[in-house]
Amino acid sequence: MSRIGKLPVLLPEAVKVTVSDAMVKVEGPKGSLERKLPRVIGLEIKDKEILVKTKSKIKTAKALHGTWRALIANMVKGVSEGWTKKLELVGVGYRAEGSDRELVLTIGFPHPVKVEAPEGITFAIEKTFITVEGIDKELVGEVAAKIRAIRPPEPYKGKGIKYADEVVRRKPGKAAKAQAGAV
């Protein structure tokens, strides 16, 4: 049995969880999320916590136990606090402009790149940082990954779009190789 799956998910005051017809719905101050539960997973709601239970002892149920506990915990955190991913633009002349629904990137291409925010996602721009915010952790991560994929950081100068906490491994380049070979 999963160690993560055994842990209860604690519910903050403003969060409400309902389960009906294999659908779990989590509502909170930031919004609401819903997800379809697999047949082998059940939820038990007591006081201010949720316990994820397996309905059978098959291998699939054991495999899904911890995953579903984590998914429900992410939903609870999303509707109460929200999720954010911070990206950084590294490069001379690289900049981002736009509103909370649209992003216009000037990142070394001959044309500006426009990124539309899907429903439930907002952008915050300050200088060379872009913050992707929303209540769905998967959607926030996916949008941030798509923005990073437009111009990923290159290993020689580190130019591109990177996560704020990402460390880009740098390569020495041709000049450093030529000097090392001559010695």
pLDDT tens digit string along 23-67? Answer: 999 999 999 999 999 999 999 999 899 999 999 889 989 889 999
**Whether residue 72 is found in the same domain as residue 44:** yes
Residue 171's CB is within 10 A of a number of other CB atoms, namely: 11
Cβ-Cβ contacts under 8 Å for 30 (sequence gap 6 or more): 78, 79, 80, 81, 82, 135
Indicate which CATH number applies to the domain containing 35.
3.90.930.12
Q: What is the pLDDT of residue 2?
A: 67
Q: What is the pLDDT of residue 183?
A: 59
- Give CA–CA dist 172/178, Å, rounded: 10
Q: What is the pLDDT of residues 107-159, one digit of tens each?
A: 999 999 999 999 999 999 999 999 999 999 999 999 999 999 999 999 999 99
For the chain, what is the domain count?
A: 2
Domain membership flag for residue 169: no
Domain membership flag for residue 53: yes
- Give CA–CA dist 34/156, Å, rounded: 44
Domain membership flag for residue 16: yes
Q: Report helix angle 137-150 to 59-80, nearest 10.
A: 80
User: Which string of DSSP letters, residue by residue, matches 21-88?
Assistant: TTEEEEEETTEEEEEEPPTTEEEEEETTEEEEEESS-SHHHHHHHHHHHHHHHHHHHHHHT-EEEEEE
Q: Which domain holds residue 114?
A: 83-163
Tokens of 72: 């429900």
pTM, two decimal places: 0.88
**Whether residue 67 is found in the same domain as residue 114:** no
Mean pLDDT, range 176-180, rounded to an integer: 69
Domain membership flag for residue 96: yes
- State the pLDDT confidence band at 161, using cuts at 50, 70 and 90: very high
**Whether residue 93 is found in the same domain as residue 28:** no
